[in-house]
Structure 1
C-alpha cells in the first residue's frame, strides 16, 4: 500500500464532528480485535476501526444527529486504504467489535458513555498522528 494512502485513510477517519462533554470518569473494558493483517500499519488501523465502531454506537445512543458519520468514515477509511480482502474483513470486524462491545454494556447515554466518546476521540487523533508519522512518508 502506498504510504500517502495510509496517511489519507487515517486522517479521513478523524474529520468528524466535535466530541460530547464529559461529567465523570469510568473506563470501558474492551476486547481485542482479531489478529491484524501482515502489514505493520494494519494494527493501528484496526484499532482506529474499532474506535470508529465504538463512536458510532455511543453517538447514536447519546442522540447525536450526526451519529451516522462514523459508519461513513469507516467506509471512507476502507475505500482510501484499498486493503486486501483479508485486511478489509479484519477492519470491518474491528469496527463491529467496537460497536458490539459498547452495545453489550450501555442501554442509555450516561456520563461514562460521554467520557468514552471523549477518550476515543483523543486516542483516534493520536493514532492518526502515529500512522501519519510512521507510515505516511
Structure 2
C-alpha cells in the first residue's frame, strides 16, 4: 500500500513537471527536487539490497529528469544527488538488516511526502 502510494505520488510529480516549461534558472522547488533525487537513489539501493531486484526507482529518476528537462548544471546536480543517496547507503549496508528495512520505509515516506507537497504547491 505504501509503495503504491509513493509510486503514484512520484508519478504525479513527473506529470506535473512534464507540463512545466523548461527553465534555465533555479525554480522555487529545486531544493525539494534535489532532495527527492537523493531519496530515489537511497530507495533504489535499499530496495535492491532487501530483495527487490529491479530498476523501478532508477527508472523513476530517469522519468523525473525527462519530465523536468533541466539544463546541464541542474541535471548534473540531480544525478549527483541520486548517486549520493545510493552511495551513502552502499557504504553502510552490505546486507539487508532490520535497520536497512527501517531506513527504506523512512525514505519511502519522505519521498511520498515531498512528492505530495510538490503537487499541492506547484500543481495546476
TM-score of the superposed pair, with normalisation by structure 1? 0.71
Answer whether contact 1:10 1:131 (CA < 8 A) is retained.
Answer: no
Partner of 1:47: 35
Residue 11 of structure 1: how far off its partner (Å): 7.5
Within-5 A mapping of 1:28-107: 38-66=26-54, 68-107=55-94
Partner of 1:27: none
Structure in which a larger fraction of residues adopt helix: 2
For the residues of structure 2 that align with 1:10 and 1:73, how far apart are their CA atoms? Answer: 12
1:9 and 2:14 matched = yes
Q: Give 3-state SS (helix, strand or coil) of 1:58's partner.
A: helix
Residue 135 of structure 1: how far off its partner (Å): 1.5
Over the aligned positions, Cα root-mean-square deviation in angstroms equals 1.9
Q: Give 3-state SS (helix, strand or coil) of 2:66's partner.
A: helix
Residue 60 of structure 1: how far off its partner (Å): 1.2
Partner of 2:22: none
Query: Any gaps of 5 or more consecutive residues in structure 2?
Result: 1-11, 18-24
Aligned length: 106
Residue 10 of structure 1: how far off its partner (Å): 7.2
Answer whether contact 2:13 2:118 (CA < 8 A) is retained.
Answer: no
Structure 1 residues 65 and 11: CA distance shift in structure 2, 3 A: farther
Residue 65 of structure 1: how far off its partner (Å): 2.8
Query: Any gaps of 5 or more consecutive residues in structure 1?
Result: 1-6, 13-36
For the residues of structure 2 that align with 1:70 and 1:132, how far apart are their CA atoms? Answer: 19
